[in-house]
């Protein structure tokens, strides 16, 4: 493996792409720590410690968006507005005829859609950042405001400073979007995915330090600390989750195909047996992101109302029902939404009729099934079955932190980063990055990173 890594850096073009990617990711990590000028850092730090369930919600958002909402930095919104805009246009491209026509125009249509996505990202950024700045201006920790006293006039934040903060956060997200596009064009890997993975991996050391502080060498623990038995169980579970994520991410249902023979002159072409790979986890991590994002709205709304009216029994019951990781109702809704979005996203990204027509046009067929409608029906039936397995796997991965935290008494930060959605995203993006590096190596007649020499 060390020899293969050395080989990567002996190829000038590949070395340049990797170093450029690392440099752009380093710029992102520097900006991740730069706070907004109007924010009171000490009050924000205390707010993050005392926020309780609301702080957990903000940390959950940070996993998917490469953001820093608990510290109000210039990259506070992360890349989530761009992801939201991309998802909106991808969904509209399947139901709105003008966008559907653009998707079929090739490169020119893709550029037009990307341009519209950027405009939508700016609009979403302005709306979200304005709501976030208004939340900061109206929130206090004890008697201290989250805004620095020098920017307050009669206890309120003037419009001009709200506007500056909104434009700063919007510019930060647009800059992250630009960084992702530069990685796509001049670096290696998917830029947006790498930004998200960088945020997840950067948070893992703090989770490991938290685990060290909350552990003891005694069997069974004591004093609220984790014992050796739980630590070993956590390590074994981490290895099992990683192995399961790798297995399911690479898992395929291979449909055998055969091409028809045809004669040209004295030579016979075709007649070879191949296979059509259908991924078990066709939807990737998108169903978890969709389900978590959809459940964030009632969580944030109920958290806000509960903080405003703490004595209301109905609000308290609803608040407890939508507390992440602590409610059976929340987990049930979470699993149900994951199944729904798995089938929904698979239906959008995989078209059995189109695949069947492509096989027919290339002179290939599935043995035992006539080309055309019979083949499309067979592919749809197979995809429904493997999507069920993929959805069950995603649901299990998504609720592992809840199970670990509830049954083993492990803090949410540790359980969330060493199993669950963050780990799934990191492994999926890492595999995509390795495949892109392998394509450069194979093109130059080197063996891939995961191939035997």
260 vs 173 pLDDT, higher one: 173
- Joined together, the tokens standing for residue 43 give 């009050």
> In the chain, what percentage of residues exceed pLDDT 70?
84
Do residues 65 and 195 touch, judged by C-beta distance below 8 A?
Answer: no
Give the predicted TM-score (pTM) of the model: 0.80
Where does the pLDDT of residue 437 fall: very low under 50, low under 70, confident under 90, or very high at 90 and above? confident
- In the numeric block, the tokens 């290696």 are attached to 188
Measure the CA–CA gap between 60 and 324, rounded to whole angstroms.
Answer: 9
DSSP labels, 39-76? B-HHHHHHHHHH-THHHHHHHHHHHHHT--TTTTBTTT
Q: What is the mean pLDDT of residues 104-130?
A: 88
Measured CA distances, 74 to 82, 129, 160, 438 (Å): 16, 10, 17, 35
For the segment 299-308, what is each residue's pLDDT rounded down to a tens digit? 777 777 777 7
Sequence-distant (6+) residues with CB within 8 A of 46 are: 141, 142, 144
- pLDDT reading at 290 higher than 80: no
For the segment 266-289, what is each residue's pLDDT rounded down to a tens digit? 776 666 788 888 888 888 777 877
Count CB-CB contacts under 10 A for residue 268: 10
Where does the pLDDT of residue 143 fall: very low under 50, low under 70, confident under 90, or very high at 90 and above? confident
Q: What does DSSP say about strands 140-141 and 262-264: parallel, antiparallel, or unpaired?
A: unpaired
Measured CA distances, 80 to 46, 84, 183, 338 (Å): 25, 6, 17, 19
Q: What is the mean pLDDT of residues 197-208?
A: 79
What distance, in Å, lies between the first and last C-alpha atoms of the chain?
10
Where does the pLDDT of residue 23 fall: very low under 50, low under 70, confident under 90, or very high at 90 and above? very high
Measure the CA–CA gap between 207 and 211, rounded to whole angstroms.
Answer: 6
Q: What is the mean pLDDT of residues 221-239?
A: 72
Do residues 415 and 404 touch, judged by C-beta distance below 8 A?
Answer: yes
For the segment 315-337, what is each residue's pLDDT rounded down to a tens digit? 777 777 776 656 778 888 888 98
Q: What angle do CA 344, 348, 350 make, to 5 degrees?
A: 110
Q: What does DSSP say about strands 273-279 and 252-259: parallel, antiparallel, or unpaired?
A: antiparallel
Count CB-CB contacts under 10 A for residue 273: 9
- Classified as helix, coil or strand, 274 is strand
pLDDT reported for residue 142? 76
Q: Could you tell me the domains of the chain?
A: 32-187 (1.10.3370.10)
Best-predicted range by mean pLDDT (46-60, 115-129, 437-451): 115-129
Where does the pLDDT of residue 451 fall: very low under 50, low under 70, confident under 90, or very high at 90 and above? low
Measure the CA–CA gap between 351 and 376, rounded to whole angstroms.
Answer: 9
Where does the pLDDT of residue 120 fall: very low under 50, low under 70, confident under 90, or very high at 90 and above? very high
Long-range contact pairs involving 411-414 (C-beta distance under 8 Å, separation at least 24): 411/210, 411/214, 412/56, 412/325, 413/59, 413/206, 413/207, 413/210, 414/207, 414/210, 414/211, 414/214, 414/234
Measured CA distances, 1 to 6, 14, 40, 209, 378 (Å): 9, 17, 48, 29, 42
- In the numeric block, the tokens 């109007």 are attached to 38
Burial 222-232 (b: 16+ CB within 10 A, else e): eeeebbeebbe
241 vs 340 pLDDT, higher one: 340
For the segment 145-193, what is each residue's pLDDT rounded down to a tens digit? 888 888 888 888 899 999 999 999 999 999 999 999 999 889 988 888 8
Sequence-distant (6+) residues with CB within 8 A of 6 are: none
Residue ranges of E strands in 54-170? 140-141, 144-145
- Classified as helix, coil or strand, 258 is strand
The CB-side HSE value for 92 (13 A sphere, CA atoms) comes to: 13
Q: Which of these, 401, 407, 241, lies nearest to 324 by C-alpha position? A: 401
């Amino acid at each position: 493996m060390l020899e293969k890594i050395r080989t990567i850096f002996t190829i000038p073009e590949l070395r340049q792409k990797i170093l450029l990617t690392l440099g752009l990711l380093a710029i992102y990590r520097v900006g991740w720590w730069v706070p907004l000028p109007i924010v009171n850092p000490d009050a924000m730090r205390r707010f993050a410690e005392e926020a309780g369930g609301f702080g957990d919600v903000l940390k959950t958002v940070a996993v998917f968006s490469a953001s820093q909402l608990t510290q109000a930095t210039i990259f506070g919104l992360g890349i989530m507005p761009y992801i939201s805009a991309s998802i909106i246009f991808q969904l509209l491209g399947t139901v709105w005829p003008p966008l559907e026509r653009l998707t079929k125009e090739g490169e020119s249509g893709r550029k037009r859609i990307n341009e519209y996505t950027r405009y939508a990202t700016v609009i979403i950024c302005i709306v979200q950042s304005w709501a976030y700045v208004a939340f900061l201006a109206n929130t206090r920790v004890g008697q201290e405001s989250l805004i620095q006293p020098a920017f307050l006039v009669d206890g309120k934040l003037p419009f001009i400073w709200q506007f500056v903060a909104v434009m700063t956060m919007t510019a930060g997200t647009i800059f992250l979007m630009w960084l992702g596009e530069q990685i796509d064009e001049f670096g290696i890997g998917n830029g947006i995915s790498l930004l998200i993975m960088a945020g997840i991996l950067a948070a893992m050391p703090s989770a490991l330090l938290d685990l060290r502080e909350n552990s003891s060498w005694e069997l069974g623990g004591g004093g609220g600390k984790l014992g050796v038995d739980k630590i070993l169980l956590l390590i074994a579970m981490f290895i099992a989750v990683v192995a399961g994520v790798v297995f399911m991410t690479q898992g395929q249902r291979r449909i055998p195909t055969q091409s028809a023979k045809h004669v040209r002159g004295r030579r016979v072409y075709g007649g070879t047996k191949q296979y059509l790979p259908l991924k078990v986890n066709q939807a990737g991590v998108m169903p978890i992101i969709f389900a978590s994002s959809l459940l964030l709205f009632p969580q944030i709304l109920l958290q806000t109302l509960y903080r405003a009216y703490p004595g209301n029994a109905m609000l308290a019951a609803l608040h407890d029902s939508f507390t992440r990781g602590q409610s059976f109702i929340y987990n049930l809704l979470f699993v149900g939404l994951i199944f729904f979005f798995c089938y929904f996203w698979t239906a959008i990204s995989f078209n059995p009729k189109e695949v069947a027509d492509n096989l027919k046009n290339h002179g290939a067929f599935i043995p035992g099934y006539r080309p055309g409608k019979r083949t499309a029906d067979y592919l749809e039936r197979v995809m429904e079955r493997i999507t069920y397995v993929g959805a069950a796997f995603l649901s299990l991965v998504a609720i592992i932190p809840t199970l670990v935290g509830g049954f083993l008494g492990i803090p949410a930060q540790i359980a969330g980063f060493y199993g669950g959605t963050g780990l799934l995203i990191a492994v999926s993006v890492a595999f995509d990055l390795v495949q892109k590096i392998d394509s450069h190596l194979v093109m130059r007649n080197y063996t891939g990173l995961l191939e035997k020499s």
